[in-house]
Amino acid sequence: MSVCVKCGAPVEGSVYRNTLCPSCGGELRSCLNCRHYRKGQPYDCLESIQEPVADKERANFCDFFQINTGTGPSAGRSDSESAKNALNALFGE
């Protein structure tokens, strides 16, 4: 099952550039929601993209995009990123 990387809500159906998460309103066709996103890889992507995507949280037109099949808000993120997000959530930032 696909999930929103921001809130962990289940995502059903096709994801287009303008598709928003029904739970949090986040843009779903973003690098952070892609199964190929890996922090630390060239351009933070497992695919051989030619130029980096500047804002990985915003929707884009990448031809390699495939919605992640992770299990929640930390899917596809590094451990340090997950820890930082957990602290921000704890302290309300």
Provide the whole-model pTM. Answer: 0.70
**Beta bridge pairs of residue 27:** 20
Q: How far is CA 68 from CA 2, 33, 57, 91, in A?
A: 6, 6, 14, 27
- Six-digit token string for 31: 């690098």
15/88 Cα distance (integer angstroms): 28
**pLDDT higher than 50, residue 74:** no
pLDDT tier at 90 (50, 70, 90 boundaries)?
Answer: confident
Mean pLDDT of 10-38: 93
